[in-house]
Structure 1
Amino acid sequence: MEESPGGPSQKKVVAVVGGGLVGALNACFFAKRGFDVELFETREDIRQAKIVRGRSINLALSHRGRQALKHVGMEEKIVSQGIPMHARMIHSLNGKQSPIPYGKKGQYILSVDRANLNKELLTAAETYPNTKLNFDRKLQDWSAETGLMTFEQVEADLIVGCDGAFSAIRKQFLRRSRFNYSQTYIPHGYMELTMPPINGEFAMKPNYLHIWPRNTFMMIALPNLDKTFTCTLFMPFEEFEKITTGDEVIEFFQKYFPDAIPLIGVDALKRDYFRLPAQAMVSVKCSPYHIGSKCVLMGDAAHAVVPFYGQGMNAGFEDCIVFDEIMEQFNEDFSAVLPEYTRVRVPDDHAIADLAMYNYIEMRAHVNSKWFLFRKHIDNLLHFLMPKTIIPLYTMVIILINKTVINRGLLFSATGALLGGSFLLIKNPPDINKLLVPAEKMWSRLVALRTS
């Protein structure tokens, strides 16, 4: 493996802790730069496992995540294994389906399988001769001063914590002063159900993110290559706990998701609802992302987000490419690279976390309102007329454009929406308090995003 221009004259050892999506991709980035990479994962090798433990919510791969995959030559392969979703498909109580495009024509996100993506990235990392994958290796302790880690005693020049929302690497950060950390569990849990094919074909239109918004809860469905849909029910834990029998499951679905019953199947619903309890969702924020020149956090270890903007994986992948760009900028000097990485990434990742929280409210409730649908049409119209000035919110989040453009776009978009929506507001006045509070938070967080 040739060293990249400006690479180290003597190979340094980088230990990547965590063999999930971000850890496996990071191993590729560091190996490509010529570092000796040791990846450590607590679980067994998922490529040989009969049952893959861990989260299984389908993933939405966007432009930001694809750029990181492209950097290590993986974009085309992963894209070929995904299914494009060009719009949300809203399912009303009466069974009516209404599409809401994400942005301009041709724009889409990809539904990808988490386990398959993880396997592909591990295999890609293993193709580098300077990379070693270590499974069934649980980290016991580590030193920020020496880089010594207690598995069986491993020493590294840089430790990269990619070990998830409950990171063992991050525990060392918590022992230090001036480390900010917050963890928030939302009151909703999630449960996964499977919608099988009908006569060998998708039971619903496949190129959509299907949403059943029901105000305080919702269900979504993403397509899979095997012609199934993975349905995820998001609901307050107390609502999950009220349902204790198979008949109560069917009564609940008849009331809120009647069109889904024949597609999932009565027997499957009664069985799968009780297969696993509802799972919790946590949002994690912390700062700084590094200790000295020896350790840095990436992915969920640094910024776990709730899954309602589909940007958790994409933000984690973007961590990898941003870190790589800063490595190039500072000639792989860890003492300069790590503080700069914290400075650049913390505001962006915190903004994504807040927007993900807001988008849950939008997905489960606002998509049903006339005001929301009207605003979407205005956003898309103004974007068509002024594509470089006005950019819809979802597009901004996916691509992370310059914040000056965002500010200008928001100003014009707000003005256009106000003028164009006068008639609708008079006819169907919204609750101003409900609109202004989340909108104010949304815009303030969005403005924090900057070019990475």
Structure 2
Amino acid sequence: MLKTDRFNYAQTYIEHSYKELHIPAGENGNFLMEKNALHIWPRKNFMLIALPNMDGSFTCTLFFQTEGEESFAALKTENDVEQFFKKYFADAIALMPDYKKVFFANPTSSLPYIKCYPWTYKNKVALIGDAAHAVVPFFGQGMNCGFEDCRILGELMDEHGDDWKTIFPLYQQSRKPNADAILELALNNFIEMRDLVADKKFLRKKQIEKMVANAFPEKFIPAYSMVSFTHIPYAEAQRIGKHHNELLEKLFLVENLEEKFSSDEIQEMIKEYL
């Protein structure tokens, strides 16, 4: 595709890279932390996360600046790594007895994303998945987005048979806005995970979001749930999420919201956004 005329292509690396670490299972294969959770150590511009595995261990990932005074490039010795973890992740050290050795044994990997268009060529070739829209991993939707390409392409084939002249334009016109949307959502979710989860206003808005979702489960679906657990297109979920955030901002300003939540005034305010 790069050799064809008028093919737009951009590969962009974010300023962070990542490295995998490891929390082993405890005695008898027990989990050393809550197993039904994503664990995050947010540190403003970087973070450590841990996800549970079936064997009782956790796969940890450090997302950290690639270059700079505090960065992967600056951690050159085991002592550098030890001082860094003691400063920022002291509580995690006890869970990772071999973290210094693992740090240097595992590679430091970059985080690129790809945007390109068109995705088809002469009704003969169509790009799908990462070939068309590689994304950063912070929403966990890269593979799902590729599967959704397949679903949409399959539905168009069911409808139009082998009329590729019709199928390919409809496919890329449908999927490109959604691929762009999940990329933006993933980049924003990185900021949320590494920074905002430690912000009092953000946490309060999450409480309010849960209140509204519980009161109106059929009409108010949190943005994360729309993306992860429904077939709502990414672009539509993004649009609805921005609309809902306007409501959450208004409700955030209401003092003693829990006491006033059932009032006609608050209920009418909410319904205006549903």
TM bucket (normalised to shorter chain) is 0.7 to 0.9
**Relative to 1, partners in 2 of residues 1:229 and 1:272: Cα closer, same or farther, differing over 3 Å?**
same
Q: In the alignment, which residue of structure 2 is the partner of 1:389?
A: 219
| Selected match of 2:143 from 296, 313, 330 | 313
Q: Deviations over 1:236-267 (max 9, x none)?
A: 012111112212212111111111111111xx
- Separation of aligned partners in 1, 2:111 and 2:244: 36
Contact 1:180 1:287 in 2 (8 A): yes
Paired letter, 2:141: Q
Query: What is the CA distance between 1:388 and its match in structure 2?
Result: 3.0
Moved over 6 A (4+): 402-406
Instruction: Describe the SS at the equivalent of 2:166.
Output: helix
Query: What is the CA distance between 1:409 and its match in structure 2?
Result: 6.8
Q: Deviations over 1:400-452 (max 9, x none)?
A: 4267787567545523541343449xxxxxxxxxxxxxxxxxxxxxxxxxxxx
- Separation of aligned partners in 1, 2:41 and 2:87: 12
Contact 2:11 2:112 in 1 (8 A): yes
Q: In the alignment, which residue of structure 2 is the partner of 1:169?
A: none
- Separation of aligned partners in 1, 2:93 and 2:246: 41
| Selected match of 1:216 from 24, 33, 45 | 45
Query: What is the CA distance between 1:218 and its match in structure 2?
Result: 0.3
1:375 aligns with 2:215: no
Q: Deviations over 1:190-214 (max 9, x none)?
A: 0001110110211211111111110
1:206 aligns with 2:35: yes
1:244 aligns with 2:72: no
- Separation of aligned partners in 2, 1:175 and 1:371: 49
Q: In the alignment, which residue of structure 1 is the partner of 2:161?
A: 331
Contact 1:390 1:410 in 2 (8 A): no
User: TM-score normalised to the size of structure 2?
Assistant: 0.85
**Relative to 1, partners in 2 of residues 1:331 and 1:420: Cα closer, same or farther, differing over 3 Å?**
same
Unaligned 5+ residue runs, structure 2? 257-274
- Separation of aligned partners in 2, 1:413 and 1:249: 39
Query: What is the CA distance between 1:276 and its match in structure 2?
Result: 3.2
Query: What is the CA distance between 1:364 and its match in structure 2?
Result: 0.3
- Separation of aligned partners in 2, 1:252 and 1:357: 25
Paired letter, 2:150: C
Q: In the alignment, which residue of structure 1 is the partner of 2:11?
A: 183
Q: Deviations over 1:341-392 (max 9, x none)?
A: 1111010011101111111111100000011101111112112222233221
1:195 aligns with 2:23: yes
- Separation of aligned partners in 2, 1:339 and 1:423: 51
Contact 2:204 2:252 in 1 (8 A): no
Query: What is the CA distance between 1:226 and its match in structure 2?
Result: 1.5
Instruction: Describe the SS at the equivalent of 1:227.
Output: coil
> How large is the RMSD of aligned CA atoms in angstroms?
2.0
- Separation of aligned partners in 2, 1:305 and 1:319: 14
1:263 aligns with 2:95: yes
Contact 1:217 1:234 in 2 (8 A): yes
Q: Deviations over 1:141-180 (max 9, x none)?
A: xxxxxxxxxxxxxxxxxxxxxxxxxxxxxxxx12222322
**Relative to 1, partners in 2 of residues 1:231 and 1:322: Cα closer, same or farther, differing over 3 Å?**
same
Q: In the alignment, which residue of structure 2 is the partner of 1:346?
A: 176
Aligned 1:14-33 pairs, distance under 5 A: none
Contact 1:382 1:413 in 2 (8 A): no
User: TM-score normalised to the size of structure 1?
Assistant: 0.53
Stretch of structure 1 that moved more, 331-340 or 239-248? 331-340
**Relative to 1, partners in 2 of residues 1:411 and 1:293: Cα closer, same or farther, differing over 3 Å?**
closer
1:358 aligns with 2:200: no
Stretch of structure 1 that moved more, 333-342 or 191-200? 333-342
**Relative to 1, partners in 2 of residues 1:235 and 1:416: Cα closer, same or farther, differing over 3 Å?**
closer
Aligned 1:102-121 pairs, distance under 5 A: none
| Selected match of 2:232 from 396, 401, 404 | 401
- Separation of aligned partners in 2, 1:390 and 1:285: 31
- Separation of aligned partners in 2, 1:404 and 1:316: 17
- Separation of aligned partners in 1, 2:236 and 2:13: 33
- Separation of aligned partners in 2, 1:307 and 1:404: 20
**Relative to 1, partners in 2 of residues 1:250 and 1:379: Cα closer, same or farther, differing over 3 Å?**
same
- Separation of aligned partners in 1, 2:209 and 2:156: 34
Contact 1:390 1:409 in 2 (8 A): no
Query: Which is helix-richer, 1 or 2?
Result: 2
Instruction: Describe the SS at the equivalent of 1:284.
Output: strand
The percent of aligned pairs where both chains have the same amino acid is 44
**Relative to 1, partners in 2 of residues 1:317 and 1:405: Cα closer, same or farther, differing over 3 Å?**
closer
Paired letter, 2:204: F
Query: What is the CA distance between 1:295 and its match in structure 2?
Result: 0.6
Q: In the alignment, which residue of structure 2 is the partner of 1:272?
A: 102
